[in-house]
């Protein structure tokens, strides 16, 4: 020990490691080699890689390929990492070796040293629990890292994203029912269109989120297939024939997700196609949410000089200079999240193109971006529901403007013909009169007939 540092030896020689660190020499080299950013693979990834190591130790113990005392120490250590006690020991930058080998070794070394300490050994001694020979037994970074990405993303989708989207869907469905009898002017091309129920607009939003949930489930299905078992290049070299089957069985029990082993390890390790596909589904969800959030912003614009058909909950002052101004801040935060997710997907797409022969070499950044996207949408969708959608109220501005609109002349077209209806709309536009007023002047229809034809609610449903 020198100045709170310890010396460790690895295959490349000797180097100093902080004396109290649970990571070791391999991790330290990566820490020094990649001083790129402050980005680190987060909690969901750390938990997932520890679950892989725990499942591996359990399986190796059952197969008799690890001594019981070594396996038990690894099992106990991995559980502590799963529970989050050692997150600060995962110090490798996201922008590192493309296989994620540095992060795999970070996990191996932390779990090894926790186990060594529990058995009375010295940190960094690699005795009696070796990070490669014991913690990494039957594994390679090349199958552990893609497996970990799949497990972490699948669990996050299953436990966070889908439940959060279900909260948002329920909120939108509730508002659809609440607003069902409120008729307003529809809009296409940002121009007035035929009447629509405010509840029908919200039914459309709820439908988007319903489909978003199905897309999240499709992403989950893609991620359920794991690369574990291919080791270095897909051949399974250095692995017990029953190892991967046992590990995946354990992972399924731990996560309540029915993971399975790929039937083509050469595909599963040379590509991250499933990650690209999952990211694409997540991006689609972001696109849907951005549309909804922007519509909410526009519908609530004003309150006097905008559309103002709904009022949004007032959650904070909107201006440092204009007293009383309130902004649609929750919806704005949603749009920023969606922009980030769309950008993340572009990075994942590029990462997916970076598979060379038997290995993809952008796995860490793909992992970071996919997991960040899932986390952001999970938090944002439930927050959108609770802080904004649940508190929306309809104003009388929408209903009051329906009969002022020109597009209601569409209902006249089947009666008087398209050209006559278009003429009525032009006259109304030029004179400022309503469609009803012009129709009385330009047709032989009596007022009762006109009122029946132009009744707004009747325009929101198909007529028999």
Active-site annotation, residues: 189, 319
Rounded to whole angstroms, the Cα distance separating 369 from 346 reads 9
Length of the chain (residues): 464
38's tokens: 């402050």
Q: Name the H helices within 261-328.
A: 265-270, 273-299
**What's the CA angle centered on 69, arms 64 and 73, to 5 degrees?**
110
Rounded to whole angstroms, the Cα distance separating 340 from 372 reads 9
Q: Are 126 and 112 contacting, i.e. CB atoms less than 8 angstroms apart?
A: yes
Rounded to whole angstroms, the Cα distance separating 330 from 388 reads 6
Return the number of other C-beta atoms located less than 10 Å from residue 410's C-beta.
16
How many secondary structure helices (H) and strands (E) does the chain include?
Answer: 17, 10
Return the number of other C-beta atoms located less than 10 Å from residue 326's C-beta.
17
Rounded to whole angstroms, the Cα distance separating 303 from 180 reads 22
Q: Are 334 and 384 contacting, i.e. CB atoms less than 8 angstroms apart?
A: yes
- Phi/psi at 362 (nearest 5 deg)? -135, 30
- CA 32, 27, 262, 238 dihedral sign is positive
For 394, the enclosing helix (H) or strand (E) is: strand 393-394
């Amino acid at each position: 020990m020198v100045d709170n540092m310890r010396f460790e030896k690895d295959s490349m020689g000797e180097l100093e490691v902080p004396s109290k660190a649970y990571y070791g020499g391999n991790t330290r080299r990566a820490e020094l080699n990649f001083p790129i950013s402050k980005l680190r693979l987060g909690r969901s990834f750390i938990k997932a890689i520890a679950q892989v190591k725990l499942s591996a130790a359990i399986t190796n113990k059952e197969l008799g390929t690890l001594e019981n005392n070594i396996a038990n120490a690894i099992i106990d250590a991995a559980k502590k990492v799963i529970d989050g006690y050692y997150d600060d020991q995962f110090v490798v930058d996201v922008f590192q070796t493309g296989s994620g080998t540095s992060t795999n070794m970070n996990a191996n070394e932390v779990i090894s040293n926790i186990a060594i300490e529990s058995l009375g050994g010295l940190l960094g001694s690699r005795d009696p629990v070796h990070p490669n020979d014991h913690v990494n037994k039957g594994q390679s970074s090349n199958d552990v890292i893609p497996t970990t990405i799949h497990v972490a993303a699948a669990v996050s989708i299953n436990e966070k994203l889908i439940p959060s989207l279900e909260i948002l869907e329920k909120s939108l469905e509730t508002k659809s029912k609440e607003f069902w009898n409120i008729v307003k002017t529809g809009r296409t091309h940002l121009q007035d269109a035929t009447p629509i129920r405010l509840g029908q607009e919200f039914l459309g939003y709820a439908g988007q989120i319903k489909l978003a949930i199905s897309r999240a489930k499709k992403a989950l299905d893609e991620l359920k297939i794991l690369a574990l078992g291919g080791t270095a290049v897909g051949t399974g070299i250095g692995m017990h024939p029953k190892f991967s089957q046992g590990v995946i069985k354990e992972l399924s029990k731990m996560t309540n997700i029915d993971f399975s082993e790929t039937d083509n390890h050469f595909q599963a390790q040379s590509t991250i196609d499933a990650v690209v596909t999952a990211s694409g589904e997540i991006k689609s969800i972001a696109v849907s949410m951005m549309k909804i959030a922007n519509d909410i912003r526009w519908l609530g614009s004003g309150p006097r000089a905008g559309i103002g058909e709904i009022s949004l909950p007032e959650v904070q002052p909107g201006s440092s200079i204009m007293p009383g101004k309130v902004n649609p801040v929750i919806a704005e935060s949603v749009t920023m999240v969606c922009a980030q997710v769309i950008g993340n997907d572009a990075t994942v797409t590029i990462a997916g193109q970076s598979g060379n022969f038997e290995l993809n070499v952008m796995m860490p950044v793909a992992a970071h971006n996919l997991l960040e996207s899932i986390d952001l949408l999970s938090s944002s969708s439930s927050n959108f529901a609770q802080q904004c959608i649940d508190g929306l109220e309809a104003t009388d501005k929408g209903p009051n403007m329906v009969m002022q609109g020109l597009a209601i002349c569409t209902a006249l077209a089947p009666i008087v013909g398209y050209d006559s209806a278009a003429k009525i709309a032009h006259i109304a536009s030029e004179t400022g009169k309503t469609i009803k007023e012009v129709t009385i002047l330009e047709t032989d229809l009596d007022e009762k007939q006109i009122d029946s034809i132009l009744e707004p609610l009747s325009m929101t449903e198909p007529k028999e």
